[in-house]
Amino acid sequence: MANIRFEENDDLIDIRHDNVFKAVFTRDTQLSNAALSKLVSALIGREVLVTDINVNEPPIDNLRDRQIRFDINCRAENGEHVNVEMSLNPDAFEPVRLEFYAGKLFTGQDIRGTVKTYDDLKEAYQITILAKGQFFTDDKFLHTFEYYDPVHNISLNGKSRIVTLELSKLDKVVEKPVAEMSALESWAIYFQYLTEKNKRQKINEILEREKGIAMASKVLLNISKDEIERARLMSEYKYELDTQSRLVHAKREGIKEGERKGEQKGLKKGKLEIIDLLKSGKSPEEIIRDHENDMNHPQA
């Protein structure tokens, strides 16, 4: 493959957009498949060769179907099951969600039959790349979780893993010379800073060293220059953001309405209490004085 470089005026689509991420890594081409293999290898820490995307997924060449595919569900040459997704802002339940899908990925393997045992189960990896926000409060951008005894720090040596990559924690990594970066660090920097033109020289240095990233870039550049493909991807992204914005707006309006009703209910209750106090024979001055005393000396 010929060397690829991004020019300063190249208008690239942001690969952190979920649908662009899937478009780059799920095309039925040697470049796309090889790039996915290199990405998965960097994420799980050993070389794997992705051989197929599960047949129960929608067709990978259909742009509209890509919109409803939440992740890249694939299988490696040695049978490993891998689920890779690009995510934006995580919900509070995200850790439990990851555990749920990791469990489904692992237990979805069929070992029924007289010639199979639990030893025939293959490794399963639930991988989430977080484009914005953070899962965890530490400064480490990569975490790999597995079953272990936290009291005695003993691993179960199981075959299921949850891998998280947080792109917002790369401030120190991006300052490293490219020659000192690991493959995983290079992928992370590529995702996070690809569209920042002041980082384009560093991205080009990464392309020279990491063949898998260069392959992904070749696919991305073709998509970016294909006006029809670009327009459709941006239309899907706009639809995703519009849907998200409507949900957030409805939630905020619901909160405002709840606060408004609460204020009205509080005012009505306060008026009734004042009427009751006036009926008891207290003067307005006494009512105000008692209220101020209650505010200054609240009951424990």
pLDDT at 286: 67
pLDDT score at 63? 45
Domain spans, the chain: 18-225, 227-300
Higher pLDDT, 254 or 212: 212
Q: Is residue 284 predicted with pLDDT exceeding 80?
A: no
Choose between 39 and 224: higher pLDDT: 39
Does pTM top 0.75 for this prediction? no
The C-alpha atoms of residue 97 and residue 266 are separated, in whole angstroms, by 39
Distance CA 144, CA 125 (A): 10
The DSSP code sequence of 147-171 is -EETTTTEE---SEEEEEEEGGG-T
Provide the pLDDT for residue 185. 97
Average pLDDT, the chain: 82
Confidence class of residue 60 from pLDDT cuts 50, 70 and 90? very low
254 pLDDT tier (thresholds 50, 70, 90): confident
Range 184-191 contact pairs with CB under 8 angstroms and sequence separation of 24 or more? 184/42, 184/43, 184/45, 184/142, 186/42, 186/210, 186/213, 187/39, 187/42, 187/43, 187/212, 187/213, 188/141, 188/142, 190/15, 190/216, 191/15, 191/16, 191/129, 191/131, 191/167
pLDDT for position 163 = 96
**Looking at residues 253-259, what average pLDDT do you find?**
72
